[in-house]
Amino acid sequence: MSSRWAVSKDADQAITAQRKRQKEGKRRAREQKQKETAEQQEQQAQRSIEPPTKRRRTEATSLEGASLLPQTNPSFGQSRGLELYDILNNIEEGSYGFVSRARENPTGEIVALKRLKIEHGNNEGFPVTGLREIQTLRVCSHPHIVHLREVVVGPGPMQDVYLVMDFLEHDLKALLEDMDEPFSSSETKTLMLQISSATEYLHKNWILHRDLKTSNLLLNNRGEIKIADFGMARYTASPPPRLTQLVVTLWYRAPELLLGAEEYGFEIDIWSMGCIFSELLTREPILQGKNEVGQLSAIFSLLGIPTPATWPAFKSLPNSKALYPLLGTTRNLTSQLNSSKYPDLTEAGIQLLASMLTLNPEGRPSASEILSHPYFREDPRPKPKQMFPTFPSKAGQEKRRRRATPRAPNRGEAPRLPAEDFTSIFAGHDSKH
């Protein structure tokens, strides 16, 4: 005859086993839910032309006043045809389209026509870069962002798609190459304030441009600059989703992207703006690598080698795993951003430029902080746009000719850089510094 204690012990064991099974069932259910959530987030990250349906505002203090642009919901109908426009001359071929100058027949107004690059016969359908540009420009309204008037289609069964936009006489890249002298300090301030204002508008509305460069900045003869080419643009969130790092034209690409970061934010646009700031001052791109490794070499030669103190998250980036073992054998180079490189730039201006080109993305200012920087309140003050000089327009003449520069990256797999590719970054540095 078993004792009362044995029965009680058996019952306790049965209860314990039941609780264990229940706990195990809850754990499996939780893991399944986490897996489903991760799959949903991955699918959402891949829908680059749609804003996230839910946005966590855990960092709202860093984006004061941030909001979503209202999505237009027009009634769908047939687009107008290209026959309404007379093409006057071709301007240039961009990464995602062919740009021409045209006249609208009913009004006689001069406009810019951008024919999207569509590979007829493939299975990819309408290019995602075109969808991004149309969607972004339809909801943006800012004096320094190019205005999309309408979308028209060409004749024939294989209809081409054209974006009709305001015509501006210059792109900043071609203009800088033709100038004998760079912009003056007051003119540079005016241009940087306009670029920063437009970038602040994008960022406050959760839009990353992801390809800011001088050839994507258009200037008219009234001293007004406008950001163009939104083929890489997309909505983001806080915290940022996983994104491709194969964005931004190489010479304007932030170091975290070159090192394989898949989670990044508005800081990559700020880095590009720093490159543009320098180019306005010197007429030359500040960082001109031939490939990803060469670009990193140019960055580290100019700004120094990252350390755990200056960039704590550096070691966690995918491509840094090949680079990090070499850092211990190399002296830390110091930044070359100084008055000898920019003799006409004040101390406040050098501080602003250096902050925009900080290796650690967390150290870069926001577009709002750039707008309020003391540099813009110093003498000489920003030149009123009514006083801005005018320049002969090449957009109304022959096709623009420019020196060979990198194009925006194509869609595809971003490169992983092997360790042996990095050895050239530090070649000769110890003997020079």
Which residue from 428, 242, 266 is spatially nearest to 318, judged by alpha carbons?
Answer: 242
- According to DSSP, the β-strands at 207-208 and 234-235 are antiparallel
CB 61 within 8 A of CB 370: no
List the beta bridge partners of residue 348: none
**Number of residues in the chain:** 433
CA angle in degrees (0–180, nearest 5) for 166-171-173: 165
Q: List the structure tokens of 373.
A: 């920087």
Q: List the structure tokens of 232.
A: 């890489």
Q: Quote the CA–CA distance of 51 and 48 in Å, as a whole number.
A: 8
Classify residue 245 by its DSSP letter.
S
Backbone angles phi, psi at 311, to 5 degrees: -150, 80
Backbone angles phi, psi at 276, to 5 degrees: -65, -45
| Extended beta strands in 231-377, E state | 234-235
Q: List the structure tokens of 211.
A: 């390809």
Question: Residue 274 burial by CB count (10 A; 0-12/13-18/19+): exposed, middle or buried?
Answer: buried
CB 271 within 8 A of CB 356: yes
Q: In the annotation, is 269 catalytic?
A: no
Place of tokens 């009514």: 386
CB 258 within 8 A of CB 296: yes
| Extended beta strands in 48-188, E state | 85-93, 97-104, 110-116, 148-153, 161-166, 170-171
- 24, 38, 42, 325 from 30: Cα distances, Å: 10, 12, 18, 39
369-383 burial: b if 16+ Cβ within 10 Å, else e? ebeebebbeeeeebb
Annotated catalytic residue within 171, 211, 269, 421: 211
Q: Quote the CA–CA distance of 372 and 431 in Å, as a whole number.
A: 41
The residues assigned a catalytic role are 211
